[in-house]
Amino acid sequence: MPDANVAVEFEGKSVKYATPLPVNKVADFDTRTGKIFVTNHRFLAVASDGFARVLIVPHGTVEVQIYLTTEAKAYVNTYGGFTVATQGAEKASFNLDARSTNTATTKFYHGSTITGGSQRGEDLIPAGAKANAQLGGLSSGPLQSILTTGKNLLIELQNKNAQAQDMCVRITFREEL
């Protein structure tokens, strides 16, 4: 029977893992090799039925996990295949390994608007989200996607509360370096 282990070289040491490599080991390895980045934006006092939007402009192949937090009920929509009408303000990205000199080439913008395209997905953050977040949880689980150059993604949160509320989008991503 062939060897069911895979060897990974890291900092001059060979480490063996069972195949397939456990997800937490891959994420840990990629973080330690400077391939995992993060960006986020907090939208303050989004009006009732108002929108908070983040545009992802990938460069190369990019794996993203998107975490959303709101104080109350919100709709979540994602869009692809669109034309960017207003790019918005660029958000900085940070390498999770502060020792690494790797920088992200994927760009993120908030306050973006689009024309055309199609809805790729929809989700709901329930009204009990604030209580869950106060207990240390997230309002929603991660949305995941693999993007590539020319395949932009727009994330849209719509406040479905009767009053203004704060919303936050946090994106953890891995680039092929």
Q: What are φ and ψ of residue 106, in 5° steps?
A: -70, 140
What share of the chain in percent tops pLDDT 90? 54
Torsional class of 117: left (φ above 0), alpha (ψ -120 to 50), beta (otherwise): left
3-state secondary structure of 31: helix
17-22: average pLDDT: 45
Whether the pTM exceeds 0.85: the reply is: no
Domain residue ranges of the chain, discontinuous segments joined by +: 1-33, 37-175
Q: Residue 34 pLDDT more than 50? A: yes
Q: Residue 113 pLDDT more than 90? A: yes
Tens digits of per-residue pLDDT, 137-175? 445 657 888 999 999 999 999 999 899 999 989 999 998
Select from 3.40.50.11750, 3.40.30.10, 2.60.120.510, 3.20.20.10 the CATH code of 37-175.
2.60.120.510
Q: Can you give the pLDDT at residue 68?
A: 85
Question: DSSP readout, 62-111?
Answer: EEEEEEEEESS-EEEEEEES-EEEE--EEE--EESSTT-------EEEES
Tens digits of per-residue pLDDT, 67-109? 888 877 889 999 999 999 999 999 999 999 999 999 999 999 9
**Least confident among 12-26, 85-99, 114-128:** 12-26
Q: Can you give the pLDDT at residue 98?
A: 92
Residue 2 preceded by cis peptide, ω within 30:
no
Say if residues 64 and 176 touch (Cβ distance below 8 Å). Answer: no
Q: Can you give the pLDDT at residue 114?
A: 96
